[in-house]
Structure 1
Amino acid sequence: MFSENEHGEILNERARLAELDNVLRGLGLKIDMLSDKHALDHGVDLVARVSRASGAARTYAVEIKRSVPPELATALHPHPSFPTLVVTRSITEQAAGLLRERGIDYVDEAGNAHIAWDDVLIDVRGRRKAGGHTIGSASRGSKAFSRAGLQVGFVLLSWPAMAGRPLRALANASGVSLGTAQAVVDDLAKAGYLYDAAGERRLVRAGELLNRWSEAYSTRLSPSLSGDEFEVSDISWWRDSEDELTRLNVQVGGEAGASILDPHLIPATLTLYADERPRSLIGKHRMVRAEQGGNIHIRRRFWTMPGQPWLVPSTLIYADLLASGDPRQREHADRIRRGDDRLAGLDRL
């Protein structure tokens, strides 16, 4: 017999499958849920076999999302073993184009879809959603991937040793309450990303967690960090300002930070993370306020760690490149993930 929790999860999977079946049926497709522990361990919502009446079929790792803006289309990580099918209530035209470029299939509730394999090609665009049922999003790890939960996840991914520290230290470093930190730790443990070894918590499956964290960061945490936008004729001053930035407790991230890790990248923007507006820097470098689209972005720092260098952790640089929605920055993010010691180390945990 199934436990109460296991029974509830099976019912949820069946409900999602029924909702997805309603959408795909209108495209002449049939779907059957499969069981694959390896795929589900990578955080996907379903493993499903999609087929046509002709007999052509493909097994997908299915990702269910509420919506897919361009930022998420760029940040989304395909499953390492199965082709990925994104199922969503709505998808923007730009995001749909990005998924097609990346070889990721998708379908939304209005019937917009791109599904391609062998001699099967379904390409529907421009449909508007009518009223009716909606496909629910996955609940797995919901607290951990809330806005506050993402702050805790960032600290764990950037400083894995923090997993073994007292809960209050983790909460303080993450800028969240003790209760929130406890809920997130419990949620990550249930999802298999933390486990207790000889009385000490340890981070495991960290590369997979980084995938899920960076996807959620692009739509939930990143937009809340936006602050002032400025314009200057030359952003290169920051390269000779390490001592000044350190003294003012201001850190460099985004494209500029990425250019330190990836010499192939020539930054067009400078992103600064600070606890408050760095007025002396703004005046000294004659930054002119821009309503939007400036080449200097000042963002709210949401974590606290002593002795921080002038460069933000590569975890955040990587996530900000993905969250940009720019395919060029996505390429640099992938290169940094392979070459940066911190990020490569997470993939080995």
Structure 2
Amino acid sequence: MEDPGAEAVDTLQSILGRETCLNIEGTGEPIVVSNQETEVMWPFHPIRVGRLDRNRVAHQVNKIEHRASEDPDGTASKEEPLLISDYVTAGAAEYLRQEGISYLDASGNCCIQSGSLFLFVQGQKPKSRGRRGSVRAFNSAGLKLIFVLLVQENLVNQTYRDLAGLVDISQGTVTYVMQDLKELGFVEERKKKRILRNKDDLMDRWATGYTERLRSKLSRGRFKFLSSRKATGWQSHLSNLWTTKWGGEPGADLLTGNFRPELLTLYTREDTSTVCRELEAAPDPEGSIEILDMFWDPVKLEKQNDTSESTIAHVPPLLIYADLVASADPRARRAAKTIWDQYLVEGET
């Protein structure tokens, strides 16, 4: 398989043409941009990612910041990071330029900057991705299954029938999702056991897919408190609802203890009327409460863990992260990075 970095470099060099003084080389690491007239060189550390849109790009920025925080003295590498993508959408490109992060996609679109270097190309159309561009594992049903696999890794060895029951999908769906995950390198079979691999990348793809293809289908709408006193002390409002849990901003506050939520997101398997009665809330498109369907069975999922989690008032950190990372609120992005670093990456094998 052709190295995506080499493909992107070749495409960009062809766009620049032979007449330019800039030369780009990158068949491995690092990718080097050089000025043949002045002999100045700018090395970049390639970070290979998939398609980058406005939702997914915040996650990549978080990962770059995570690497930098682990190497505060910059001793590990003097190379600037360079995101190598299948395609960078206009929204993602603008976001990266504002953050000062260099990128290059397979179509030659780029903003590469370091010191006196500033190389900018836009408007190149995405290349055809062929049949494998559409992976069924990341459709709505597949995203539900991947979620429980990421939350409880040991579930990867459950029967397909049991997995189907956890998220209310068919066994046939489980079959094709697992096959796709094997082909993509996320599931490995060894000695009749299945092992989850590349969890960092899988969480990344899941969070993007969840925002783009699943979350809107789960929404029951927005609501408001009928009494101003109910707008405070929200932490205790769901104590009588065993299959209702906080996500998004309130979930972030429960995890980190330092996030003041403005939008109260909750996931439930209860009837909407039951939740509204407990909250003393009513429908309002501008309300501060957001209710979504809980697409997994929390009781069955928690039974897979060695310790009971029935008293936990929030959804799993991965879902809280996905809710936050797509937000335009800078506070939410900072909270998402904290959750990624402390609850999703730390201790990962």
TM-score by length of 1: 0.74
Instruction: Note the C-alpha offset of 1:229.
Output: 0.9
Counterpart pick for 1:195 among 188, 194, 203: 188
2:249 is aligned to 255
2:117 is aligned to 120
Q: Residue 72 in 1 paired to residue 51 in 2?
A: no
- Aligned to 1:337, the other structure's residue is in SS state helix
Matches of 1:32 and 1:164, distance apart in 2: 43
Instruction: Note the C-alpha offset of 1:105.
Output: 2.2
2:89 is aligned to 90
Q: Residue 134 in 1 paired to residue 134 in 2?
A: no
- Give the aligned residue type for 2:329: D
Counterpart pick for 2:289 among 296, 306, 309: 296
Give a deviation string over 1:213-248, Cα, whole Å, max 9, x none. Answer: 2233333333333330123345334311343121xx
Instruction: Note the C-alpha offset of 1:17.
Output: 5.8
2:232 is aligned to 236
Distance 1:161 1:17, change over 3 A: same
- Aligned to 1:244, the other structure's residue is in SS state coil
Does the 8 A contact of 2:107 with 2:127 survive in 1? no
- Greater relative contact order (Cα 8 A, min sep 6): structure 1 or 2? 1
Matches of 2:176 and 2:35, distance apart in 1: 43
Give a deviation string over 1:250-288, Cα, whole Å, max 9, x none. Answer: 221111011111011111111111236421332453424
Q: Which runs of 5+ in 1 are unaligned?
A: 1-8, 37-46
Distance 1:16 1:112, change over 3 A: closer
Instruction: Note the C-alpha offset of 1:323.
Output: 2.0
Q: Residue 280 in 1 paired to residue 277 in 2?
A: no
- Aligned to 1:10, the other structure's residue is in SS state coil
- Aligned to 1:83, the other structure's residue is in SS state strand
Give a deviation string over 1:175-233, Cα, whole Å, max 9, x none. Answer: 33222222222222233322223322122332332233223333333333333012334
Distance 1:177 1:12, change over 3 A: farther
- Give the aligned residue type for 1:324: S
Does the 8 A contact of 2:166 with 2:296 survive in 1? yes
Give a deviation string over 1:65-97, Cα, whole Å, max 9, x none. Answer: 2x622x2332335465871336536312xx445
Does the 8 A contact of 2:246 with 2:266 survive in 1? yes
Aligned-CA RMSD value: 3.7
Matches of 1:172 and 1:165, distance apart in 2: 11
1:153 is aligned to 146
2:316 is aligned to 313
- Give the aligned residue type for 1:83: P
Q: Which runs of 5+ in 2 are unaligned?
A: 68-76, 303-309
Matches of 1:51 and 1:279, distance apart in 2: 64
- Give the aligned residue type for 2:269: D
Instruction: Answer with 179-188 or 302-311: which moved more.
Output: 302-311
Instruction: Note the C-alpha offset of 1:143.
Output: 3.3
Distance 1:119 1:321, change over 3 A: same
Matches of 1:121 and 1:159, distance apart in 2: 45
1:41 is aligned to none
2:258 is aligned to 264
- Give the aligned residue type for 2:83: L
Matches of 1:117 and 1:319, distance apart in 2: 31
Matches of 2:126 and 2:98, distance apart in 1: 27
- Aligned to 1:230, the other structure's residue is in SS state strand
- Aligned to 1:319, the other structure's residue is in SS state helix
Which protein has the larger Cα radius of gyration, Structure 1 or Structure 2?
2
Instruction: Note the C-alpha offset of 1:110.
Output: 10
Q: Residue 61 in 1 paired to residue 51 in 2?
A: no
TM-score by length of 2: 0.74
1:44 is aligned to none
Does the 8 A contact of 2:8 with 2:105 survive in 1? no
